[in-house]
C-alpha cells in the first residue's frame, strides 16, 4: 500500500501539466511572472543569501557530506519561506529532494519535488517547472519504474518547448537544482520510449533532442509553434486531467494566497494572518490526500493500465508523424528517414517511411565500441594512402544500415534522409560499405538537423548563378582555444571558382584580398548559390571558436553567421572546411550548430566537408557537381551523389555525361566522401 501511495501522489501532481502543457501555448504562459523576476538573487539580500546556501549545499552533497548539505538547505528554506521568496523556495526544495534521493529516501524526495512543482506552476515558470518534472522522472527512473519516468520526462519536454518560444528564458543562468541535464532528459526519454515500443513518441523526442542540443551549443535558439507542441499526451490521459483540473486550480489559488501572506515579514503578521497560513498549509495537505484517494481508486488504476497498453500499441495521436510522412511522400525520389540514437549500451535505430509507422531496430553495440570505430574510420578516410577503409566502413554498415535493409527495401527508397546523433555526425554515411559497394552507389544521402521540424521538400528556384570566393594565396596564423593554427592559400581554389564561373553564367568571382567580409556578405543574397573555397572549421567547444576564413585573413565566427540574411539563397557551399580539429571529437554539436545557423539565415541547404581535401580532388568534384546541377535535371542531393560516383569510378554518369575528364585517382573516399549535404536536398 505504501508503494502505491508514493506513486499516486506523483502521478496526480504530474497530471497538473495538463492544465498548462496540453493546451496551445500562449505568449503569456512563457514569460517570467513578476514574482519570479522580483526573486532574482541580484535584487535583494535574502535571495543572495539563499543562493549561496544552495550552492554550498550542492557542493557538500557532491562531496558526500549529505547531512551538512541538508542543514544548509534547511537554513535556505527557512529564509525563503519567511521572506516569501517563492522562486528560491522551489529551488531549495528541489535540492532537498536530491539529497533525499541520494539517501534512498524516495518518499521524502518525492514530497520535496512535489512542493517545488506546485510553486513553479504558481509562478508560471516553464523552465523551472520542466526541470522539476525531470527530477521526478529521474526519481522513478532510478526506482526501475519506466512508465512513470516516461510520463514525467514527457512533461519536462512539454514545458521546455513552450518556454523555447522565449529563448531568453532558456539562456538565462539557472541555479543548480536538477539531477540530470535537460538534454539527458530528452535522450533518456527517447531510449525508454523505444524500449517500450512507443516509436512514434520516441521519434518526436529525437527531433526535439536535436533542438535542445542546439540550445546547449548556441544559446538563444528560438522555438516555433511546431516545436512548442512538445510531445503528445495520449488521449486516454485527457479524462484523468479533466477530473483533476478543478482540484489543481484550487491548489494553485491557495498557493497564490500563501505567497502574498508570506511576503509579510513574520514579525509583522497579525494573528489572523498567521492562522490563515496554517489553514492554507493544512488545506493543501488535505488536497494531496484527496489526490491520493482519487488515483488509488480502481477506475483510475484501470485507466492507467489502459493508457500503458494503448501507448505500446501505438494507439495515439499521430498527427506529427502523418505530417512527416506527407513530407517524405512529396519528395521526387522515394525516401526514408533514419534516426540513430546512441546510448551507453546500445544503438537504437528508427526508420520512417511514407507508407508505414516508425519502425525501431535495436543494435547491440556500446557507445565506446561505436566511438572507437568512428575514430578509426575517420583516420582511414582522411589519408588516401590507407587502404583499409572498407573494413571499418563495413562494420559501421552492419550497425547502421544492415538492420534496416528490409525496411528500406519495402519502402522502395532511393534516398536516405539522415539525422545523425552524437559522434556519428563526424563520419559520412555515404562512405559506408556493404561488402560490394559504397552506400553512395545505392542511395543519395540528405542530412537534416531535425527532420519533422524542417522544411525539406520545398522546390528551389532554378536559377544557377553563384557568388564564388576563394582564398588562393597568403598565410594566416591565429589561435583558437589552446591551438595555434596556420592556414595557407588553397592551391586549386582559383581553378575551382574559375570553373564555377564558366559553368554558371552570370556568376561573380572574388579572390584573396577582394574576398573579404565587407565585399562578400552584402552580395550573398543576390545569388542563389554562395560558394566559399576557403578554410572553415567547426571546433568542439564554444560557438565563437568555429569560423570561416576569408581571403584577406578576416574570420567570421559561427555566431556572426546568424546575423546574415540569405532568404534568396538556395545553396551555401564550404568546400574546404573541417571538423574534429586537432583530432578532438565531441558530440558533433558544432556541425549541428553550423547547419542550424545557416538555416536561420534563410538558406535552404548547405554542402560542407567533414575534412579538408587540399588538392585537385575538391576542384574536380565541384566542377562535376555544378555541371550536373546546372542541367536542371537533378536535385542537389542526386547531383552530389552522381558526382561522388564519378570520382569513385573515374567515369561520367551514363545519363549525364560530363564535359570534363574525371581522374581515376580520386576513387579513395578521402576525395569524395567528406562532402555532405545538409537541409533541403531538392
Helix axes 616-630, 493-503, angle to 10 degrees: 10
pLDDT for position 142: 94
Cell 562532402 found at: 675
| Topology match between the domains 27-232 and 466-679 | no
Closest C-alpha among 407, 348, 357, 396 to residue 373 = 396
Closest C-alpha among 188, 221, 181 to residue 206 = 188
Closest C-alpha among 411, 409, 403 to residue 329 = 411
User: Between 2.40.37.10, 3.40.50.1460, 3.90.105.10, 3.40.50.720, what CATH number should domain 466-679 receive?
Assistant: 3.40.50.1460
Helix axes 236-262, 106-123, angle to 10 degrees: 80
Strand partners, 537: 547, 578
CATH class of 27-232: mainly alpha
Spatial distance between the Cα atoms of 374 and 551, rounded to a whole number of angstroms: 33
DSSP 424-473: GGGS-GGG-B-SSSBGGGT-EEEE-SSGGGS---PPPP----EEEEE--S
Spatial distance between the Cα atoms of 269 and 276, rounded to a whole number of angstroms: 10
Residue count (the chain): 682
Task: Enumerate residue ranges in the chain where pLDDT < 70.
Answer: 1-46, 220, 233-252, 284-285, 287-321, 450-455, 541-542, 582, 614-615, 659-661, 663-664
Inter-residue contact 207 to 456 (CB < 8 Å)? no
CB atoms within 10 A of CB 224: 12
CB atoms within 10 A of CB 362: 14
Closest C-alpha among 407, 412, 416 to residue 439 = 416
What are the residue ranges spanned by the domains of the chain?
A: 27-232, 234-316, 319-441, 466-679
Please report, in angstroms and rounded to a whole number, the separation of the first and last CA atoms in the chain.
59
pLDDT for position 393: 96
Note the pLDDT tens digit of each residue in 34-58. Answer: 334 444 444 456 688 999 999 999 9
Task: Give the pTM.
Answer: 0.78
Give residues with Cβ within 8 angstroms of 246, minimum separation 6: none
Amino acid at each position: 500500500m505504501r508503494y502505491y501511495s508514493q506513486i499516486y501522489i506523483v502521478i496526480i501532481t504530474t497530471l497538473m501539466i495538463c492544465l498548462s502543457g496540453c493546451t496551445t501555448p500562449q505568449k503569456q504562459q512563457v514569460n517570467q511572472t513578476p514574482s519570479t523576476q522580483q526573486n532574482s538573487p541580484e535584487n535583494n539580500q535574502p535571495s543572495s543569501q539563499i543562493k549561496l546556501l544552495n550552492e554550498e549545499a550542492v557542493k557538500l552533497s557532491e562531496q558526500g557530506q549529505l547531512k551538512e548539505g541538508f542543514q544548509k538547505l534547511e537554513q535556505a528554506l527557512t529564509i525563503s519561506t519567511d521572506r516569501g521568496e517563492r522562486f528560491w523556495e522551489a529551488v531549495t526544495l528541489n535540492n532537498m529532494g536530491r539529497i533525499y534521493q541520494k539517501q534512498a529516501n524516495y518518499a521524502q524526495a518525492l514530497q520535496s519535488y512535489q512542493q517545488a512543482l506546485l510553486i513553479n506552476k504558481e509562478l508560471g515558470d516553464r523552465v523551472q517547472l520542466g526541470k522539476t518534472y525531470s527530477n521526478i522522472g529521474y526519481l522513478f527512473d532510478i526506482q526501475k519504474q519506466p512508465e512513470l519516468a516516461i510520463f514525467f520526462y514527457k512533461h519536462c519536454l512539454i514545458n521546455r518547448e513552450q518556454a523555447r518560444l522565449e529563448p531568453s528564458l532558456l539562456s538565462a543562468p539557472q541555479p543548480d537544482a536538477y539531477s540530470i541535464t535537460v538534454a539527458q532528459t530528452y535522450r533518456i526519454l527517447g531510449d525508454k520510449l523505444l524500449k517500450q515500443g512507443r516509436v512514434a513518441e520516441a521519434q518526436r523526442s529525437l527531433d526535439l533532442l536535436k533542438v535542445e542540443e542546439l540550445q546547449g551549443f548556441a544559446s538563444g535558439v528560438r522555438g516555433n509553434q511546431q516545436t512548442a507542441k512538445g510531445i503528445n499526451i495520449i488521449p486516454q490521459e485527457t479524462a484523468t486531467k479533466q477530473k483533476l483540473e478543478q482540484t489543481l486550480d484550487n491548489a494553485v489559488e491557495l498557493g497564490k494566497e500563501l505567497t502574498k501572506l508570506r511576503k509579510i515579514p513574520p514579525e509583522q503578521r497579525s494573528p489572523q494572518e498567521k492562522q490563515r497560513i496554517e489553514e492554507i498549509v493544512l488545506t493543501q495537505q488535505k488536497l494531496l490526500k484527496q489526490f491520493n484517494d482519487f488515483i488509488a481508486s480502481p477506475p483510475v488504476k484501470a485507466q492507467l493500465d489502459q493508457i500503458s497498453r494503448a501507448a505500446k500499441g501505438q494507439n495515439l495521436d499521430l498527427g506529427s508523424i502523418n505530417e512527416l510522412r506527407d513530407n517524405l511522400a512529396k519528395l521526387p525520389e522515394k525516401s526514408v528517414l533514419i534516426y540513430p540514437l546512441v546510448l551507453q549500451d546500445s544503438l537504437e535505430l528508427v526508420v520512417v517511411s511514407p507508407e508505414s509507422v516508425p519502425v525501431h531496430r535495436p543494435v547491440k553495440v556500446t557507445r565506446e565500441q561505436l566511438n572507437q570505430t568512428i575514430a578509426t574510420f575517420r583516420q582511414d578516410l582522411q589519408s588516401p594512402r590507407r587502404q583499409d577503409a572498407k573494413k571499418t566502413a563495413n562494420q559501421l554498415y552492419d550497425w547502421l544500415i544492415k538492420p534496416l535493409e528490409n525496411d528500406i527495401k519495402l519502402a522502395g527508397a532511393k534516398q536516405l534522409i539522415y539525422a545523425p546523433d552524437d559522434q556519428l555526425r563526424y563520419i559520412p554515411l555515404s562512405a559506408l560499405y556493404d561488402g560490394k559497394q559504397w552506400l553512395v552507389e545505392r542511395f543519395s544521402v540528405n542530412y537534416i538537423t531535425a527532420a519533422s521540424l524542417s522544411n525539406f521538400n520545398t522546390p528551389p528556384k532554378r536559377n544557377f548563378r553563384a557568388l564564388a570566393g576563394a582564398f588562393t594565396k597568403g598565410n594566416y596564423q591565429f589561435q583558437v582555444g589552446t591551438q595555434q593554427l596556420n592556414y595557407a592559400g588553397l592551391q586549386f581554389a582559383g581553378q575551382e571558382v574559375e570553373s564555377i564561373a564558366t559553368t554558371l553564367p552570370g556568376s561573380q568571382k572574388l579572390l584573396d584580398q577582394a574576398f573579404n567580409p565587407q565585399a562578400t556578405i552584402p552580395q550573398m543574397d543576390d545569388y542563389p548559390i554562395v560558394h566559399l573555397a576557403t578554410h572553415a572549421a567547426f571546433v568542439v567547444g564554444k560557438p565563437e571558436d568555429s569560423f570561416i576564413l576569408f581571403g584577406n585573413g578576416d574570420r567570421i565566427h559561427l555566431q556572426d553567421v546568424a546575423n546574415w540574411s540569405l532568404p534568396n539563397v538556395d545553396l551555401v557551399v564550404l568546400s574546404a572546411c573541417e571538423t574534429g580539429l586537432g583530432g578532438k571529437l565531441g558530440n558533433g554539436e558544432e556541425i549541428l550548430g553550423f547547419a542550424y545557423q545557416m538555416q536561420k539565415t534563410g538558406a535552404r541547404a548547405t554542402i560542407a566537408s567533414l575534412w579538408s581535401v587540399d588538392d585537385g580532388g575538391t576542384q574536380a568534384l565541384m566542377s562535376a557537381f555544378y555541371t550536373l546541377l546546372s542541367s536542371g535535371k537533378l536535385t542537389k542531393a542526386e547531383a552530389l551523389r552522381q558526382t561522388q560516383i564519378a570520382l569513385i569510378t573515374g567515369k561520367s554518369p551514363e545519363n549525364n555525361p560530363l564535359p570534363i575528364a574525371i581522374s581515376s585517382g580520386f576513387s579513395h573516399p578521402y576525395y569524395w566522401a567528406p562532402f555532405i549535404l545538409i537541409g533541403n536536398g531538392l
